[in-house]
Amino acid sequence: MCFGDVIDFAALTALYFFVFFKKWRARGNYALFINTLLYIYLSFVFFFTLMPVLTSLPFIFDHSYVPMNLEPFIDLTAGHGGSAREIALNIIMTIPFGFLLPLVRTNLPLLKDRHPTFLKILLYTFLLSLAIELIQPLISDLRTSDITDLITNVLGGAIGYLFYLLFKPLTTKCLSALDKT
């Protein structure tokens, strides 16, 4: 972990305590637990995909922007080492997002009804992944953007949502107990 990462985590921690914690705590133990869990998860996603951000901002225009690779699975078909591992990690990375997002009681426009559909979760997973892929090359010329990552991230969100559906009775029972405490 570098100095820039420490600054980013400090900013995320301050954001959590000064903006979100009180709001989520006021909505009950369930909201506090699930929203905090999702916040921690997203913080780690940002750590692995974008950080350091704040210390990189002054240098955004000091390197060339490499456009997104739009050939799906080119690294895998070309036999580049580590491409299968990268695909697996991108799928695994967004499984928690597909699982946790339906549990969040939120004011997100597409989730207001609190009955998230498969397509809604796919859309939010796509938007999260697209934002990461578009921002990565801005932060550093060492980071690249790839359509394969976008595809595999959405697949991970879909798998996470299927886990959500599979474990919904258990999670509903466990998490509703939080509201009673």
What is the residue extent of each domain of the chain? Answer: 3-180
What distance in Å separates the CA atoms of residue 78 and residue 72, rounded to the nearest whole number? 11
Bridge partners of residue 69, in order along the sequence = 146
**Average pLDDT value for residue range 111-123:** 80
Displacement of CA 62 from its chain's centroid (Å): 27
Q: What is the pLDDT of residues 118-152, one digit of tens each?
A: 999 999 999 999 999 988 888 877 778 899 999 99
The upper half-sphere exposure of residue 80, i.e. CA atoms within 13 Å in the direction of its Cβ, equals: 9
Can you give the pTM of this predicted structure?
0.88
- pLDDT tens for residues 66-93? 777 888 888 888 877 888 999 999 999 9
b/e burial code for range 99-110 (CB count within 10 A of at least 16 → b): bbbbbbebeeee
Tell me the C-alpha distance between 100 and 111, whole Å: 13
